[in-house]
Structure 1
Amino acid sequence: MQAAQHAHNPALAPDRDWWRGAVIYQIYPRSYQDSNGDGIGDLKGIIERLPYIAALGVDAIWISPFFKSPMRDFGYDVTDYCDVDPMFGTLADFDALVAEAHRLGLKVMIDEVISHTADDHPWFKESRASRTNAKADWYVWADARPDGSPPNNWLSIFGGSAWQWDTRRQQYYLHNFLAEQPDLNFHNSEVQDALLDVTRFWLERGVDGFRLDTINFYFHSEGLENNPALPPDQRNDQTAPAVNPYNYQDHLYDKSQPENLGFLERFRALLDEYPAAAAVGEVGDSQRGLEVVAAYTAGEKRVHMCYAFDFLAPEKISAAKVRTVLETFGKVAGDGWSCWAFSNHDVMRHASRWAAGEADRTAYLKVVSALLMSLRGSVCIYQGEELGLTEADLAFEDLQDPYGIRFWPEFKGRDGCRTPMVWDGSAPNGGFSTAKPWLPVPPEHLASAVSAQQGDEASLLEHYRRFLAFRNAHPAFAKGDIEFLAGEGDVVAFTRREGNEQIVCAFNLGSSPAEIGVGDGRSLQPLPGHGLSGQATEGKVRLGGYGAWFGRFA
């Protein structure tokens, strides 16, 4: 395996802790910017837009998969982990992207999809050829039960059994997602070694870190025990939509296995060979999400940070939920670290999920974004979130996502949050492409384009820029401790403390004015620069609807 060699200069003294409290901007490359007129975004398009991202004030970018793939799951089904799919460009384009991002002060994180491959990956082609070949045990194979049915009751997130019959080996193979996405067998050390080689390949090309897709799905129980049923009152739709029977099981045996900790320690040891590489893992576990995050990020030998689906679920954010989630994480995680997000490429955009019924949608989105960027932990912002883009309502004939096609119309899939970025409201296709885009640009998005918001101090885009600058000016937001203050109703308040700096933060998630008492009557001094409304007197903070206040004890 050949990789570009990059010298690591210790004289530069990189900040190995840069990830702690970082704000990471997620790019879905198919939908960000098309540079060659084929209707699909690409790496050169991302390079073109890097100055925009840098001007936002974020610390890093996370690029969703761009590897060679049949695109049945749009890059999350990989056939070559060490090359770029031609629709996105070349390895030279990727190297140019890394160089330009670094020139602009941005770290580069890429998606590693290593729990499974595409079924036409060379590894799987060899594995399925016989039961005795060199890679026969690289995937999860099992015999049928005596009646010919699958080995157990495990379910796929994309619907139906997690087992697919293969006529060549006359065995079932495991697929937690599409049948065309067979799961790798992490119990095989050769598989682990191969995936660590892939990781080193990209580290040598200069990447600063990884987002680890479905990190808790790497290992399964070798006993293949049936998952127990979950009582109806304990089912939720954090990991899968409510129409999916996946939620009917307590997933004790098909994921989140203890053996994963050993692999994560091997993975971290590799990253630690490099000056400042970091990783964030995606934890999909509705029953034990925060506990898994805590285990995977404990100490300094596993992954740096993880995120669960607590704020990505359909349930609307509330003051009580924010406090419960953060305090629960603080109790179970100890020295662990989380990465919070409100939207990404897999869930309905929170501008629709939460803000649709609010009296002032833009004001609401401003205050919840300020809350997100004030929490203890790192932050992921999904492309278009800073514009307030809503979930697109697509016609069935426009759908590309196999998940939505399978469960239509009760669940419309993930295409609604993946429509193209809108750059210029007066240009064809919002400035995304000169050709017909792979997904349509919703007409209602054009009024929210970058061109319409840039320079307008009242816009959501300028709010994100302003608040990120405010956040960057106060180190307590990135790495400080958090302590919640008494609050009720729609108000959530806490302090962030780092060294001698202590910041009081208060947010009103409702449309009506509210008041909160803080500090036992002590005088409060406001911190300027964030642009949100609120006033403070001795020991009391008054907030307008969707208001927020930041300050110090005088």
Structure 2
Amino acid sequence: MSSLSNPSTSVTKAPNNEWWRSGVIYQIYPRSWQDSNGDGIGDLPGITRRLAHVAKLGADAIWLSPIFKSPMKDFGYDVSDYNDVDPMFGTLADFKALVDRAHELGLKVIIDQVLSHCSDQHPWFKESRSSRDNPKADWFVWADAKDDGTPPNNWLSVFGGSSWQWDTRRRQYYLHNFLASQPDLNFHNPEVQDALLASVKFWLEFGVDGYRLDAINFCFHDAELRSNPGIGEPDASNPTVASTNPYAWQRHIYDRSRPDALGFLQRVRSLVDQYPDTTMVGEIGDESGMLMVAQYTADFDKLHMGYCFDLLAPDGSATYVRGVIAKFERVAPTADKGWACWALSNHDCARLASRWSTGLDAAAQTAMVRAAAALQLSLRGSVCIYQGDELGLPEADIAFEDMQDPYGITMWPDFKGRDGCRTPFPWEAAAQDLGFSPAGTTVKPWLPVSPDHQALAVDVQEADPASTLQAYRRLLAWRKTQPALLQGTLTLVGEDAQVLAFVREHAGERLLCAFNLSAQPATFALDATTAVAEILSDSGARGASLQGATLAFEPFGVLFARLASKAG
């Protein structure tokens, strides 16, 4: 039996300074960050070259989307070797140089680990599909067809169609929650868990500081293969539901988010805790949203942090966002009940600047992006910024013939996939491919550079003290000086259709954070519990003032204020 099979409770934990609790994590999508060799694809040396940008921004860590060997059917989320770097990105030596440089700059390195599934080109799957009695025959989820030849149940793939694929070698179906080329591993088999934990240990020994665990609530399935209950076609007017995809027509109670996952996460946590100052953040895609985040992060023995898609929705109204925060505060009011990592963008959704700005002109869009940043960096929890958020990049418009995302190609034209948020990063406005590719490169970038990003390039914003990039830097620097934002409790105050307000409190200091999340002027009445003692102008907030006992906001105005001491 593997030494990893049953981690002993007597294993000594390494010290952990919990930097991640108030940490800001910057997500890098390696394919689109910086191409160093002219092949049109970003790589590890390119990331290393540009790490100073992240350090100067004021982030604490980088999260790298997958860099492992892969056929790239889902751009690295289909792993064929968990313990090596794909040659497209470089070598293990390149990765070591990246880690060393990040640590020199004071940045932690978090890597994206895909545990729930792998590539159909992985040696494990090749062996598993070869027969029904080989040593890895039960390492994946295999099932016989029904008497009529159809799949064993009604489970659907996130990317469309059945989540069962017929295999002619074994004359059985195998489960794939995503692409057919991404077979799901069978976590009911302890040997599978052991093998995956060994890969986690490999990179910890290599020097990484933690993991982002992809689709971690998909790692277990119902062993009885019961069909999911249907809920009918969702209301197409509900902006938080992808009504174009029949996946949303089911309650996914048997193909994901199974209770067994918590025991596996305890095993992973036991391993990770043996390395100093490490952390894990899990992606939890479930209808329960923040409730599931709390469950997966409670009791200090599973994930350190979790994030869901609740704030990745198209609705950025004060009413909606307040509801998300209130829900999490109800179920996880203290750290032992759960810990959230707040993300407003990532590589799987339309960019914030476009998603929350329908109908806005350019100036209002910029104001919205800055208000959203101030809100995100004021919440109780950790923060994840996606590359380009700090520049206010809008979603890129990708022609069908340029699309790369299999999800978007399948669902086009009503859903255009994820390419629009993955285009090359704009470094230099006047350079070839906006500085993404080396000068003189003849190979086109893997996705087109967006012309809408030229005026927002890093070098342009570096030269403008009033730019969104400079505003982000000031906000991040100011946040580090505010213990109430880093460690305080959060109490929502008032209930308003335009203004979201809450109080962060720590060691007797009370900080009012208020945001007009609308494109119209707004007012917000204060009561005795929120009497303002001092507006904190050094926060960089704008567009808000105090008029007697009322806050007055310009469109997308933001205010931070120190409150008077509580009576008694």
- What range is the shorter-chain TM-score in? over 0.9
1:304 aligns with 2:304: yes
Contact 1:312 / 1:347 at 8 angstroms: preserved in 2? yes
Query: Which one-letter code corresponds to 2:19 in the other structure?
Result: W
Question: Alignment partner of 1:273: what SS?
Answer: coil
Q: Could you say which residue in structure 2 is the equivalent of 1:531? A: 540
Q: Could you say which residue in structure 2 is the equivalent of 1:218? A: 219
Residue 546 of structure 1, CA deviation:
1.4
Q: Aligned pair in 2 of structure 1 residues 240, 113: CA closer, same or farther (>3 Å)? A: farther
1:262 aligns with 2:266: no
Q: Distance in 2 between matches of 1:178 and 1:276?
A: 35
Alignment map for 1:55-454 (pairs within 5 Å): 55-233=56-234, 241-286=242-287, 288-314=288-314, 316-334=315-333, 335-359=337-361, 360-434=364-438, 435=441, 436-454=444-462
1:486 aligns with 2:485: no
Q: Distance in 2 between matches of 1:532 and 1:356?
A: 23
Q: Aligned pair in 2 of structure 1 residues 468, 515: CA closer, same or farther (>3 Å)? A: same
Contact 1:31 / 1:421 at 8 angstroms: preserved in 2? yes
Residue 96 of structure 1, CA deviation:
0.9
| Cα deviations by residue, 1:485-538 (Å, 9 ceiling, x for unpaired) | 114121011111122322111111123322222341734201232222222255
User: Which of 208-217 and 290-299 deviates more?
Assistant: 290-299
Query: Which one-letter code corresponds to 1:114 in the other structure?
Result: L
Q: Could you say which residue in structure 2 is the equivalent of 1:544? A: 554
Q: Distance in 2 between matches of 1:116 and 1:239?
A: 26
Contact 1:522 / 1:539 at 8 angstroms: preserved in 2? yes
Q: Distance in 1 between matches of 2:15 and 2:236?
A: 45
Q: Could you say which residue in structure 2 is the equivalent of 1:8? A: none
Residue 123 of structure 1, CA deviation:
0.3
Contact 1:238 / 1:310 at 8 angstroms: preserved in 2? no
Q: Distance in 2 between matches of 1:487 and 1:339?
A: 24
Contact 1:524 / 1:536 at 8 angstroms: preserved in 2? no
Residue 289 of structure 1, CA deviation:
2.0
Query: Which one-letter code corresponds to 1:433 in the other structure?
Result: S
Contact 1:238 / 1:312 at 8 angstroms: preserved in 2? no
Residue 153 of structure 1, CA deviation:
0.3
User: Which of 25-34 and 497-506 deviates more?
Assistant: 497-506
Q: Distance in 2 between matches of 1:531 and 1:492?
A: 18
Question: Alignment partner of 1:358: what SS?
Answer: coil
Q: Aligned pair in 2 of structure 1 residues 239, 116: CA closer, same or farther (>3 Å)? A: farther
User: Which of 17-26 and 151-160 deviates more?
Assistant: 17-26
Question: Alignment partner of 1:183: what SS?
Answer: coil
Contact 1:281 / 1:303 at 8 angstroms: preserved in 2? yes
Contact 2:532 / 2:561 at 8 angstroms: preserved in 1? no
User: Which of 366-375 and 419-428 deviates more?
Assistant: 366-375
Q: Distance in 1 between matches of 2:531 and 2:521?
A: 22
Query: Which one-letter code corresponds to 2:476 in the other structure?
Result: L
Q: Distance in 2 between matches of 1:22 and 1:523?
A: 28
Query: Which one-letter code corresponds to 1:481 in the other structure?
Result: T
Residue 235 of structure 1, CA deviation:
8.2
Q: Distance in 2 between matches of 1:256 and 1:236?
A: 27
Query: Which one-letter code corresponds to 1:542 in the other structure?
Result: A
Contact 2:152 / 2:225 at 8 angstroms: preserved in 1? yes
| Cα deviations by residue, 1:172-224 (Å, 9 ceiling, x for unpaired) | 00000000000000001010011111101111111111100001000000010
Contact 2:234 / 2:248 at 8 angstroms: preserved in 1? no
Superposed CA RMSD in Å reads 1.7
Q: Aligned pair in 2 of structure 1 residues 245, 522: CA closer, same or farther (>3 Å)? A: closer
Q: Distance in 1 between matches of 2:208 and 2:238?
A: 34
Contact 2:233 / 2:243 at 8 angstroms: preserved in 1? no
Q: Distance in 1 between matches of 2:269 and 2:397?
A: 41
Question: Alignment partner of 1:211: what SS?
Answer: strand
Contact 1:156 / 1:176 at 8 angstroms: preserved in 2? yes
Q: Could you say which residue in structure 1 is the equivalent of 2:466? A: 458
Q: Aligned pair in 2 of structure 1 residues 190, 234: CA closer, same or farther (>3 Å)? A: farther
User: Which of 544-553 and 113-122 deviates more?
Assistant: 544-553
Question: Alignment partner of 1:461: what SS?
Answer: helix
Q: Distance in 1 between matches of 2:374 and 2:532?
A: 23
Q: Could you say which residue in structure 1 is the equivalent of 2:531? A: 522
Question: Alignment partner of 1:506: what SS?
Answer: strand
Q: Aligned pair in 2 of structure 1 residues 544, 235: CA closer, same or farther (>3 Å)? A: closer
Question: Alignment partner of 2:19: what SS?
Answer: coil
Query: Which one-letter code corresponds to 2:488 in the other structure?
Result: G
Q: Aligned pair in 2 of structure 1 residues 119, 312: CA closer, same or farther (>3 Å)? A: same
Q: Could you say which residue in structure 1 is the equivalent of 2:18? A: 17
Q: Distance in 1 between matches of 2:181 and 2:517?
A: 43
Contact 2:74 / 2:406 at 8 angstroms: preserved in 1? yes
User: Which of 512-521 and 357-366 deviates more?
Assistant: 512-521
How many residue pairs were aligned?
A: 541
Residue 380 of structure 1, CA deviation:
0.9
Using the aligned pairs only, state the percent identity.
58
Structure 2 residues not aligned, in runs of 5+: 3-13
| Cα deviations by residue, 1:98-152 (Å, 9 ceiling, x for unpaired) | 1111111111100000100000100000101111111110000001111111000
Contact 2:228 / 2:254 at 8 angstroms: preserved in 1? yes
Q: Distance in 1 between matches of 2:308 and 2:237?
A: 14
Contact 1:293 / 1:333 at 8 angstroms: preserved in 2? no
Contact 1:455 / 1:462 at 8 angstroms: preserved in 2? no
Contact 2:45 / 2:94 at 8 angstroms: preserved in 1? yes
TM-score by length of 1: 0.95
Query: Which one-letter code corresponds to 1:505 in the other structure?
Result: C
Q: Distance in 1 between matches of 2:131 and 2:457?
A: 54
Q: Distance in 2 between matches of 1:207 and 1:358?
A: 41
Question: Alignment partner of 1:386: what SS?
Answer: helix
Q: Distance in 1 between matches of 2:427 and 2:94?
A: 22
Q: Could you say which residue in structure 1 is the equivalent of 2:51? A: 50
Residue 430 of structure 1, CA deviation:
0.3
Question: Alignment partner of 2:515: what SS?
Answer: strand
Query: Which one-letter code corresponds to 2:525 in the other structure?
Result: G
| Cα deviations by residue, 1:304-344 (Å, 9 ceiling, x for unpaired) | 11111101123x21111122111111212352011111111
Query: Which one-letter code corresponds to 2:430 in the other structure?
Result: S
Q: Distance in 1 between matches of 2:527 and 2:210?
A: 40
Question: Alignment partner of 1:529: what SS?
Answer: helix
TM-score by length of 2: 0.92
